[in-house]
Amino acid sequence: MKHSIALAFVMLLELSMAQGADLTLDTCLHRARVHYPLSKQADLITRSESYSISNAYRGYLPQIFVVGHASYQSEVTEVPIRIPGLAFEPLSKDQYRIHAEINQTIYDGGSMGNQSTIASANATVNKEQLEVELNKLRDRVQNLFFGTMLLSEQIEQMQLKISDINATSASVRGAVENGAVLKSTLMLLEAESLTAQQKLIGLRSNRQSYLTMLGMLIGMSIDTTTRLIRPGDIPLSDTIRRPELPLFAAQDKAVSARKDLITSRYLPRLSAFATGGYGRPGLDMLKNEFRPFYIVGLRLNWQLTDLYASSSEQDLLDVEHATISVQRETFLLNTRVTMSQQRQEINTYTEMLRLDDDIVDKRTMVLASSKAQLENGTRTAHDYMRDLNDLEVARRDRSLHEIQRALTIHMYASTTGTTGERP
C-alpha cells in the first residue's frame, strides 16, 4: 500500500514538472537515457559477466567422480605355477568394484584465467556496444527537441502574421465603408487570414506530434504549456570521444584474449588425484576377496596435437586485429569529414544571423509603409500581402537560422562525443 502511494506521488510530481514547466535539453537527454528500455541491459551484461567469470574459475575446484561396476567374465587370470604346500585361490568370475576419485588442477597453462579474461572482455564489448546504441538515442532526442522549438517559433510567427492581417483588415474595413477602398481588398485580406489560420492548425498539429514523441522517449507527459529552453552555445572541441572508439579497443582486447587462450591450449596440464574404493578383487589381483584400496599421485597431460591447429587459428585472429584497425581508421576518417562539414554549417549560420536582424528591421519598415498606403487606397492588397509575406519569411529565416545553428552545434558535440553522458 505504501509503495503504491509513493509511486503515485512520484508520477504526479513528474506530471506537474512536465506541465507548464521549463524543460532543458540536458534534462531530456538524461531522462531519455534512464527511461529507454535498452538501458536496463547494462545490469544484465554485468550479471552475465559475473556468472561467466565464476563458471570459468570453478575449474580450480576439486573434481569428484564416483564409479561403480559389477561384471561377470568368461575367464579370469590364473597362476600357472604349482608350488607344493602353497595354493592360490582362483579369482571369481563375478567381480565388483566401487571407487571415488578426486582430481585437483595444479596448473592448466593459464586456460581458466584466459577464459575469465575472455568473459570480461566480451562483457566490455557488449557494454560499449550498448553505449553506441544509446548515443543514437541522443541524436533522436536532440532532433525532436530542436524540431519542437522550430515549430513553436513558426507558430509564433504565424500568429503574428494573423494579427497583422486582422489589424489591417480592421483599418481597411472603415475605408471600404467610406468608399475609399474596394470591398475586394477586404475580402482578399480575410481570405489570407483564413489561409494563415489553416497553416497554424497544421503547425500546431505537427508540434503536438513532436511533443508526444519526445515525451515517450523521456518518460514524461508534455503538453503545449511546457516551455523548451533553448540551450546556449557550448565549446567546440576537435577531440573525438565517441563510444565507438572504446568499442574498437574492447573488440581488439577480446581478440587478444582469445589468442592467449589458444596459446594456453598447447601447454601441459598438471593435476593431483586420489582414488579410494572397495571391491573384489582389490589392487592385489592374487587375493580373491573384498578389500579396500586407494591410489594417490600426479597426472601430467600434454596434448601436442593442438600445436598443429593453433597456428591457423592465430592467423585468423591476426586478420580480425587488422580488420578492427581498418574499421577504426575508417570511422575516424568519416567522423572528421562530418566534423568539417558541421563546422562549416555553424560558420554559415553565424554569418547569416549577422544579416537577419537588419533584414527583419527593413522588412518591418516596408510593411508599415505598405500598410499606410493600403489604408489610403494607394496600394493594392496584393502588394501589401507580398510585403507581409516577405516579413514573415525574414522572421522565419531568422528563427530557423538560430535553431539550426544551435542544433548543429550540439550535433557537432554528438559527432565528437564530447558531451555524451556515460554512467
DSSP conformation letters of 333-365: HHHHHHHHHHHHHHHHHHHHHHHHHHHHHHHHH
What's residue 221's pLDDT?
A: 85
Longest dimension (CA), the chain: 157
- Average pLDDT over the chain reads 82
pLDDT at 190 exceeding the cut of 90: no
**Would strands 22-23 and 227-228 be described as parallel, antiparallel, or unpaired?**
parallel
pLDDT at 136 exceeding the cut of 50: yes
For the chain, what percent of residues have pLDDT higher than 90?
Answer: 18
Write out the three cell numbers for 240.
573525438
What's residue 309's pLDDT?
A: 62
What's residue 18's pLDDT?
A: 46
Q: Name the band, by pLDDT with cuts 50, 70 and 90, for residue 93.
A: confident
What's residue 339's pLDDT?
A: 94
Q: What is the mean pLDDT of residues 156-171?
A: 85
Q: What is the mean pLDDT of residues 211-239?
A: 87
Q: What is the mean pLDDT of residues 403-409?
A: 90
Q: What is the mean pLDDT of residues 255-282?
A: 83
Angle at 119 between CA 54 and CA 50, to 5 degrees: 40
Domains of the chain (ranges, CATH numbers): 22-61+110-267+307-416 (1.20.1600.10), 62-107+268-301 (2.20.200)
Q: What is the mean pLDDT of residues 54-83?
A: 76
Q: Name the band, by pLDDT with cuts 50, 70 and 90, for residue 8.
A: very low
Write out the three cell numbers for 190.
480575410
pLDDT at 9 exceeding the cut of 50: no
pLDDT at 264 exceeding the cut of 70: yes
Whole-angstrom distance, CA of residue 87 vs CA of residue 79: 10
Q: What is the mean pLDDT of residues 374-385?
A: 80
What's residue 345's pLDDT?
A: 93
Q: What is the mean pLDDT of residues 380-386?
A: 83
Q: How many helices (H) and strands (E) does the chain have?
A: 8, 6
Which of 71-80, 110-119, 211-220, 224-233 is predicted least confidently? 71-80
Between residues 239 and 265, the one the model is more confident about? 239
What's residue 272's pLDDT?
A: 87
* C-alpha of 310 from chain center: 36
